[in-house]
Chains A and B, each alone.
Chain A
Amino acid sequence: MNMQTTSRQTAAEAALIDAFNQHVGDLPGNGAVISARDRLVDDLKTNGLPTRRVEAWHYTDLKTLLRALPAMQPAGLVAAPAPLVETASVIVMQDGHADGKASVEGVVVGTFDAMLREGTAAPGLSVIDGDDTIGKINGSFVRDGYVLEFPEGVEIEQPIEIQALHGAGQIHTRFPVSFGAASKATVIERHVATTDGQAFVSSVSDISLEDGADVTWIVLQEQGSSDTHLGQVRIRVGADAKLRLFVINAGGKLVRQELRVDVAGEGADLQLRGVNLLGGDTHTDVTLVLGHNVPNTTSTEIFRNVVFDRARGVFQGMIKVALDAQKTDARMACNTLLMSDDAEFAAKPELEIFADDVQCGHGATVADIDDNHLYYLMARGIPRSKARAMLVNAFVAEIVEELDDEALVEALETVISGWLERHA
């Protein structure tokens, strides 16, 4: 991408480099970490933020969309919201800082700050590929996060909720999580803005599922209306492991959620579900790169998007089936309800299949509410506006209901219906 070095540096790009130069001294990390950070910042300096000419960023021209950066230091302590599920174990990130005393029974909990200081974080401060701008930004600036280790065979009954709470400012967090063989758990990664001030957030979750692990991982993004959220989930799924990955976007001004999934063990199953609730003058991009890299693995990906006002949504879904990944079964669907004439959604499903004995499919639909459904509800006396709200809610609730934990389903439905009530 050297051709882009000729383009002029934007205010946001200059601010990124500037912020690094000013704060490199107080970012945690040993020598190895500092050189890893230096390499990433150099890359940003040389290549800048990606434009539409970079295929992976074609629909989210970060160079144009990211106008300015808030000051580095986030400010203000805030009260933690109630957990989604009452019985959950909650660990809180406050303005990008983990609590060194946080603990969850049955789980080894550490902080990323400690990993940075020890230098064990250095190898992870790397990019997946040249287009991994989120990896570059996060790796340059990350300060803290929780490190969770689920021992082999452990079963954690109640969900664990990581509450990433912040006010205005820059927040860069990372969550390395390993689920030991045959462990079982539900983790909710919840990003919540607690003030209206502008925040710039990057967050990388680096997750591995060892053989036979059974994991539900939920990303709930509820950033403020002027916030930028650059999220990335890197996941490796081992043999016979089962992963339910659920991503809900219900906030933010400029959002990119990257899901980089490596289905790496035979018999692995991925169930990926996404809900994008988009309104106002916002831009939200979900980009999935899913590799089926060994034989006999399965996955389903379903995204439901509801777009109001002048919001723009993007879904890029790439499924790659490696040459020897025979008997892969992968199904992807992206369904969108456009609720206004100015709303936009771009869906780009892609299949790249090298094996010859696989079942793969994808479909994308964009529609308004089904008139037959609307008529049926109205014929029973439900006024038009209420009937429409019920149908929008149903459109997204349908996939939430696939989670078999009743308390969790109810909690997510409350988030969704609350958002719809505020926006519809």
Chain B
Amino acid sequence: MLEIKNLHARIAEDGTEIIRGLNLTVKAGEVAAIMGPNGSGKSTLSYILSGREDYEVTEGEILYNGENILELDPAERAAKGIFLAFQYPVEIPGVATMQFLKVAMNEQRKARGEAELTTPDFMRRVKEAAAELKINPDMLKRPLNVGFSGGEKKRAEILQMALLEPKLCVLDETDSGLDIDALKIVADGVNALKSPDRATIVITHYQRLLDYIVPDTVHVLYKGQIIRTGDKSLALELEANGYADIIGEAA
């Protein structure tokens, strides 16, 4: 589903290179965890996948279902089924959450040549998905993410993911700022979306989230490269010994 080949990317503004020859393959149905110390390029990778314009790809390619997506803008990528759950979702005053959800769902449907949702159909979907994630309906009456707690923001991200039904889900540090109960709810939400034609990339710092969202593969990212790939036991090894050994081996 996703093939990243020899990717090099830098911050557009100052030219700092963050991703330095990254290779990664994720198959449909797979849950891939990307772990790594601070500053290794984890969040940058997620932004580049989503098409954020603050980064410039200087070399390599990203193939999504065989198609090079580097020329597509974030909206086009989203319509093709790429979804990034943000580490820090932005607050947008004045944009009503429900209106945002409806426009996003319908714009994606339009881009794919599907009919727009009727209002009752839309309402029903939101209601069901929100109930699954134990989201208080009052929260959805507020402007987008405004005044949401850290946990509420993360749940709202997963709600969007559930409603938009993406094919490639990228979760950037979705566990940060969540207590254990919220973490379980969010993990259940992610697991509920698991299917043979959907892939998930879980970016995280800690093993903790991976107890709930069990990965098929674990990749260690360091200085903009994948320096080690393994199965879920690799995450446990990192938890026990830290990154120092693996970094030492790679150096």
Quote the shortest CB–CB distance from B109 to chain A (angstroms): 9
Distance between Cα atoms of A386 and B111 in the complex (Å):
13
In chain B, positions 99-139 with a C-beta closer than 8 Å to chain A are: 100, 103-104, 107-108, 111
B93 surroundings in chain A (CB, below 8 A): 394, 398
Distance between Cα atoms of A56 and B86 in the complex (Å):
49
B73 surroundings in chain A (CB, below 8 A): 378, 384
Question: Are A390 and B78 neighbours in the complex by a CB distance under 8 Å?
Answer: no
Complex: chain A residue closest to B163, CB-CB: A380
B75 surroundings in chain A (CB, below 8 A): 378-379, 381-384, 387
Distance between Cα atoms of A120 and B19 in the complex (Å):
79
Question: Are A375 and B107 neighbours in the complex by a CB distance under 8 Å?
Answer: no
1/0 contact trace for B68-99 toward A, CB 8 Å? 00000111011100001010011011110000
Question: Are A379 and B51 neighbours in the complex by a CB distance under 8 Å?
Answer: yes
Question: Are B90 and A373 neighbours in the complex by a CB distance under 8 Å?
Answer: yes
Question: Is A342 in the interface zone, CB < 8 Å from B?
Answer: no
Question: Is A393 in the interface zone, CB < 8 Å from B?
Answer: yes
Question: Is A401 in the interface zone, CB < 8 Å from B?
Answer: yes
Question: Are A379 and B90 neighbours in the complex by a CB distance under 8 Å?
Answer: no
Contact of A378 with B74 at beta-carbon distance under 8 Å, contacts A386-B103, A386-B107, A390-B103 already known = yes
Question: Is A376 in the interface zone, CB < 8 Å from B?
Answer: yes
Question: Is B53 in the interface zone, CB < 8 Å from A?
Answer: yes
Complex: chain B residue closest to A392, CB-CB: B94
A373 surroundings in chain B (CB, below 8 A): 90, 92
Contact of A379 with B95 at beta-carbon distance under 8 Å, contacts A372-B90, A384-B73 already known = no
In chain B, positions 132-179 with a C-beta closer than 8 Å to chain A are: 143, 160, 164
Question: Is B50 in the interface zone, CB < 8 Å from A?
Answer: yes
The residue among A376, A379, A380 with the most chain B CB atoms within 10 A of its own CB is A380
Question: Is B228 in the interface zone, CB < 8 Å from A?
Answer: no
Please pick, from B51, B79, B95, B164, the residue contacting A390 in the complex, using a CB distance under 8 A: B95
Question: Are A381 and B92 neighbours in the complex by a CB distance under 8 Å?
Answer: no
A387 surroundings in chain B (CB, below 8 A): 75
In chain A, positions 364-409 with a C-beta closer than 8 Å to chain B are: 371-373, 375-384, 386-387, 390-391, 393-398, 401
Query: Number of residues in B with C-beta < 8 Å to the partner?
Result: 28
Contact of A379 with B94 at beta-carbon distance under 8 Å, contacts A386-B103, A386-B107, A390-B103 already known = no
Quote the shortest CB–CB distance from B215 to chain A (angstroms): 23
In chain A, positions 247-269 with a C-beta closer than 8 Å to chain B are: none
Distance between Cα atoms of A398 and B90 in the complex (Å):
16
Question: Are A379 and B78 neighbours in the complex by a CB distance under 8 Å?
Answer: yes
Question: Is B208 in the interface zone, CB < 8 Å from A?
Answer: no
B103 surroundings in chain A (CB, below 8 A): 382, 386, 390
Complex: chain B residue closest to A383, CB-CB: B75
Question: Are B95 and A391 neighbours in the complex by a CB distance under 8 Å?
Answer: yes
Complex: chain B residue closest to A382, CB-CB: B107
Complex: chain A residue closest to B101, CB-CB: A380
Quote the shortest CB–CB distance from B165 to chain A (angstroms): 11
The residue among B77, B107, B108, B160 with the most chain A CB atoms within 10 A of its own CB is B107
Distance between Cα atoms of A396 and B90 in the complex (Å):
18
Contact of A391 with B92 at beta-carbon distance under 8 Å, contacts A380-B104, A382-B75, A384-B75 already known = yes
B107 surroundings in chain A (CB, below 8 A): 381-383, 386
Distance between Cα atoms of A396 and B93 in the complex (Å):
10
Question: Are A381 and B53 neighbours in the complex by a CB distance under 8 Å?
Answer: no
Contact of A377 with B94 at beta-carbon distance under 8 Å, contacts A384-B73, A386-B107 already known = no
Question: Are A376 and B86 neighbours in the complex by a CB distance under 8 Å?
Answer: yes
In chain A, positions 86-113 with a C-beta closer than 8 Å to chain B are: none
Contact of A401 with B79 at beta-carbon distance under 8 Å, contacts A375-B74, A380-B164 already known = no
Complex: chain B residue closest to A372, CB-CB: B90
Question: Are A394 and B164 neighbours in the complex by a CB distance under 8 Å?
Answer: no
Contact of A381 with B89 at beta-carbon distance under 8 Å, contacts A375-B74, A398-B94 already known = no
Distance between Cα atoms of A383 and B104 in the complex (Å):
9
Quote the shortest CB–CB distance from B101 to chain A (angstroms): 9
A394 surroundings in chain B (CB, below 8 A): 92-95, 143
A372 surroundings in chain B (CB, below 8 A): 90
Distance between Cα atoms of A390 and B94 in the complex (Å):
9
Distance between Cα atoms of A255 and B229 in the complex (Å):
66
Complex: chain A residue closest to B52, CB-CB: A375
Complex: chain B residue closest to A394, CB-CB: B94
Distance between Cα atoms of A167 and B209 in the complex (Å):
68
Question: Are B94 and A375 neighbours in the complex by a CB distance under 8 Å?
Answer: no
Distance between Cα atoms of A387 and B92 in the complex (Å):
12
Distance between Cα atoms of A372 and B52 in the complex (Å):
9
Complex: chain B residue closest to A385, CB-CB: B75
A390 surroundings in chain B (CB, below 8 A): 95, 100, 103
B108 surroundings in chain A (CB, below 8 A): 380-381
Distance between Cα atoms of A396 and B50 in the complex (Å):
29
Please pick, from B78, B95, B143, the residue contacting A381 in the complex, using a CB distance under 8 A: B78
In chain B, positions 23-52 with a C-beta closer than 8 Å to chain A are: 50-52
Quote the shortest CB–CB distance from A259 to chain B (angstroms): 24
Question: Are A380 and B160 neighbours in the complex by a CB distance under 8 Å?
Answer: yes
A380 surroundings in chain B (CB, below 8 A): 78, 100, 104, 108, 160, 164
Distance between Cα atoms of A395 and B74 in the complex (Å):
22
Complex: chain B residue closest to A376, CB-CB: B90
Distance between Cα atoms of A183 and B239 in the complex (Å):
69
Residues on B close to A: CB < 8 A? 50-54, 73-75, 77-79, 84, 86, 89-90, 92-95, 100, 103-104, 107-108, 111, 143, 160, 164
Write 20 A-B pairs (CB below 8 A) sorted by A numbering: A372-B90, A375-B52, A376-B89, A378-B73, A379-B50, A379-B51, A380-B100, A380-B160, A381-B75, A381-B78, A381-B164, A382-B75, A382-B103, A383-B107, A384-B73, A384-B75, A391-B92, A394-B92, A397-B94, A398-B94
Q: Which 9 pairs from chain A and chain B are nearest by CB? A: A394-B94, A381-B78, A398-B94, A381-B108, A378-B74, A380-B104, A378-B75, A394-B95, A379-B74
